[in-house]
Amino acid sequence: MAYKISEKYPAKRAFITGGGGGLGRALSLKLASYGWTIGITDIKAEGLAESAQLIEKAGGKAFTYQFDVSKKEEFKKAFDDFISKNKGIDLLINNAGVGDGGLVGEYSLENWEWITGINQMAAIYGSHFAVPVMKQQRSGHIISIASAAGFASMPNMAMYNVTKAAVISLMESIYGEVKAFNIGASVVCPTFFRSNIMQYNRGDKTATGMGQTIISRAKYGPDDIAAYILTKAGENRFYILHPWQSRALFLAKRLFPMMVLNQSAKRFASKTWVQDLLKQKF
C-alpha cells in the first residue's frame, strides 16, 4: 500500500515517540518501507536498538534517542538533534503512552503526575517543539495518539481518560492554529488493540488486569492500526477513529451524552460489570 503522506513529503523525515515497540515500531516500519528517515525515542535501550535495526532493514534510516519523554529538557535535546541533522521535520507522531486503572481517591497523586507527564505533557512537548519548525517550513503534519477513552470516560480509568481527553483538546486547538500554515493535524482515537501499553502500570490490579485481558484478546494489532493511521492522515483526516466501536462511541457521546454516562454508571454499579466488560469484543 502506498501512503499519500509519503507523496506529500518527499524529504520523508519523521520523529516518533515510543518507537521501541508496539504501535510506535509498527508506524516506523511502515514509513521505513518507503524510505523515511525516522527519529525514534523510547525509555528502553533494547527496544530502540531492535527497532533501529528493523527500520534500516526495511529501507529507512534510523536515529535513536533514549530518554523519558516526560522530561522536557531531554525531549528538547533529542528533537533539536534530529532537526539539526536532517534540516527539518515532515511528520511528528506523539505516540508514547502508558495505560493504567484505578479509582479516583485511591489512585495516588504521585501516579497521577507520572501518567500525566508521559501521556499528556509529552504530547505537549513534542507539539511545542515541532510547530515553530513546521511554521517556518510552511509544511508538516502532527499526529497524536489519543484514545476513545478520551471521550468515552469509562469508570475505573480516570487517570488514562483525562490524559487522552487532554490530547484530543490539544490537537483540536493545534488544528485551528496551524491550518493557515499548510500544516496538517490528526488525532487518533482507537478502542482496545493489542499492544504493550499496560507494561508499566502502577494502579489497582483488578482494573489493570482487566485492561490487560481485553487488550490481549483484541481483534486488531499495532500493524492494523498503523496502516489505518497513515492512510487516513495522508487523506488529511483529523479525527482518526478505529475500529467501528470508536466511531459509534464518538457519535453517541456527542448526540446522547447523558445516556452514555448513565449507562456507564449503571454498568459500573452492577456486581457483574467486570465480567460483562470482559465479554465485549474489541
Q: In the predicted model, what is the mean pLDDT of residues 66-76?
A: 98
Amino acid at 203: G
For position 197, what pLDDT does the model report? Answer: 79
The three cell numbers of residue 272 are 457483574
Residue 178 has pLDDT above 70, yes or no: yes
Mean pLDDT over each residue of the chain, to the nearest integer = 93
For position 176, what pLDDT does the model report? Answer: 98
Q: What is the set of domains in the chain, with CATH numbers?
A: 8-279 (3.40.50.720)
Mind listing the pLDDT tens digit for each residue in 82-128? 999 999 999 999 999 999 999 999 999 999 999 999 999 999 999 99
Using CA atoms, how far apart are residues 39 and 63, in angstroms rounded to an integer?
A: 5
For position 129, what pLDDT does the model report? Answer: 98
For position 219, what pLDDT does the model report? Answer: 87
Residue 262 burial class via C-beta count within 10 angstroms: exposed 0-12, middle 13-18, buried 19 and up: exposed
For position 212, what pLDDT does the model report? Answer: 76
For position 193, what pLDDT does the model report? Answer: 87
For position 2, what pLDDT does the model report? Answer: 59
Using CA atoms, how far apart are residues 274 and 105, in angstroms rounded to an integer?
A: 20
φ and ψ of 186, to 5 deg: -145, 145
Q: Residue 1 — pLDDT band, cuts 50, 70, 90?
A: low
Mind listing the pLDDT tens digit for each residue in 185-242? 999 999 988 787 778 777 777 777 766 777 777 788 999 999 999 999 999 999 999 9
For position 213, what pLDDT does the model report? Answer: 75
For position 3, what pLDDT does the model report? Answer: 83
Could you tell me the sign of the dihedral formed by the alpha carbons of 232, 95, 130, 42, in that order? negative
Q: In the predicted model, what is the mean pLDDT of residues 147-151?
A: 97
Q: Cβ neighbours of residue 220 under 8 Å, at least 6 residues apart?
A: 190, 193, 194, 242, 243, 282
Residue 280 has pLDDT above 90, yes or no: no
Cell 485511591 belongs to residue: 106
For position 277, what pLDDT does the model report? Answer: 67
Which has the higher per-residue pLDDT, 274 or 263? 263
Q: Cβ neighbours of residue 73 under 8 Å, at least 6 residues apart?
A: none
Q: 209-228 burial string, b = 16+ CB within 10 Å, else e?
A: ebbbebbeebebebbbbbbb
Whole-structure pTM value: 0.94
For position 105, what pLDDT does the model report? Answer: 97
